[in-house]
Amino acid sequence: MAYITKANSKKILHKLNLKNANLKGTIYEKPIYFFSKMEEQSLLAYQMFVKEPQKFITEVYQRVPIKEDTMTYVFEGEAPCYHNVPYCERLHADYCNFRIPKEIIEKGEGLRFRNWFKANLYLLDGDRSVLEMRINIAFGVNIHLEDIVCKNSGYVAIDNLPLNKLVEMINKKLDGASRFYYASAKNTCILKRFSKLTFLAHRLIPIQNNDTGYSDEEVKELLAQYEQEFKKPIIELLQNYYRVKYNPELEMEGFLLEQLGFKQCQHCKNEFIF
Ligand SMILES: [Zn+2]
């Protein structure tokens, strides 16, 4: 058996063209009305991946495209790893990413910084000012770790909750979304028309058929708020719900993960559980 990190389990969804996937299934134990077709297909695809990876590969998957290396981040352009043992330390070091500081890129030392940072990752566990000081010694620049850290998501803490707790949290968020929908005539009017289309909030072009009586700006602002406060957290909670329900350890056959573009972790490749 092989194991992957939660972050990598979600990464495989990023480049999937799910427009015509037409996956059928149940998103949750009660109906949710505000997901777009794309959001719904993405959730069903993730559910299938954790539940039936073989089926996911044959029915949904195109290979994980390896993004072009822009020399912007410490971890970039690498194939994700799978691990032979569930206790591999690299599997649990699900660290977020770090931006390579501008001053270092300008000096043409991006690659050296990246390699240095990876080799000194263990310093992250200690006093971070020590790491900052070491960077200063090695590269001659003053940085604050806070300025270069890229947080994975604000929901890391929900990673290890039991299913009943996740259900409770999802239901509470759904109730909150419902209250927000009816909180004012404006909210109801805009959300009735556009709750599935919150992506419109991020488009610079005018909204087509905005017949709500509210300006595009007002509509976009409300949709952005609705997405941030309700849709995104609920998507994150549902992904965790699927994982805990169907495959809590993200345990899969190595050969399946290789088909998905994963590489074997060099750290634990000779360790096996018998
Ligand atoms: Zn490993």
Q: Each residue of 177-212: pLDDT tens digit?
A: 999 999 999 999 999 999 999 999 999 899 999 999
Domain boundary among 150, 165, 187: 150
For the chain, give the mean pLDDT: 88
Could you tell me what percent of the chain has a pLDDT over 90?
Answer: 58
Spacing, Cα 100 to ligand 1 middle (Å): 25
- 146 and 169 together in one domain: no
Domain boundary among 128, 150, 172: 150
Beta partners for residue 252, in sequence order: 2
Q: Report whether pLDDT(152) > 60.
A: no
Q: Report whether pLDDT(13) > 60.
A: yes
Contact call for residues 35 and 234 (beta carbons, < 8 A): no
| The predicted structure's pLDDT at residue 154 | 39
Spacing, Cα 171 to ligand 1 middle (Å): 36
Spacing, Cα 88 to ligand 1 middle (Å): 5
Domain enclosing residue 112, as ranges: 97-150
Spacing, Cα 265 to ligand 1 middle (Å): 5
Spacing, Cα 238 to ligand 1 middle (Å): 27
Helix (H) or strand (E) holding 243: helix 232-246
Task: Confirm whether 160 is domain-assigned.
Answer: yes
Contact call for residues 158 and 244 (beta carbons, < 8 A): no
Token pair for residue 192? 């009735």
The whole-number average pLDDT for the span 131-156 is 80
- 174 and 260 together in one domain: yes
| The predicted structure's pLDDT at residue 156 | 43
What whole-number distance in Å separates Cα of residue 274 and Cα of residue 29? 37
Spacing, Cα 2 to ligand 1 middle (Å): 9
Spacing, Cα 243 to ligand 1 middle (Å): 20
- 174 and 138 together in one domain: no
Place of tokens 């805009």: 190
Per-residue b/e over 77-89, b at no fewer than 16 CB within 10 Å? eeebbbbbbeebe
- 144 and 171 together in one domain: no
- 182 and 229 together in one domain: yes
The bridge status of strand 263-264 relative to strand 81-82 is parallel
- 102 and 183 together in one domain: no
Spacing, Cα 51 to ligand 1 middle (Å): 22
Task: Confirm whether 7 is domain-assigned.
Answer: yes
Spacing, Cα 268 to ligand 1 middle (Å): 4
- 247 and 173 together in one domain: yes
Task: Confirm whether 83 is domain-assigned.
Answer: no
- 55 and 167 together in one domain: yes
| Phi, psi dihedrals of residue 16, rounded to the nearest 5° | -80, 135
What whole-number distance in Å separates Cα of residue 198 and Cα of residue 220? 8
Whole-structure pTM value: 0.78
| The predicted structure's pLDDT at residue 76 | 76
Spacing, Cα 92 to ligand 1 middle (Å): 9
Spacing, Cα 116 to ligand 1 middle (Å): 20
Spacing, Cα 99 to ligand 1 middle (Å): 24
Spacing, Cα 253 to ligand 1 middle (Å): 14
Spacing, Cα 258 to ligand 1 middle (Å): 14
| The predicted structure's pLDDT at residue 158 | 57
The whole-number average pLDDT for the span 128-156 is 81
Spacing, Cα 128 to ligand 1 middle (Å): 25
Spacing, Cα 84 to ligand 1 middle (Å): 6
- 258 and 164 together in one domain: yes
- Residues 34-69 pLDDT 10s: 999 989 999 999 999 999 999 998 888 865 455 567
Spacing, Cα 266 to ligand 1 middle (Å): 6
| The predicted structure's pLDDT at residue 96 | 66
Rounded (5°) CA angle 135-136-140: 115
- Residues 88-111 pLDDT 10s: 877 766 556 788 999 999 999 999
Task: Confirm whether 233 is domain-assigned.
Answer: yes
Spacing, Cα 250 to ligand 1 middle (Å): 13
Spacing, Cα 73 to ligand 1 middle (Å): 22
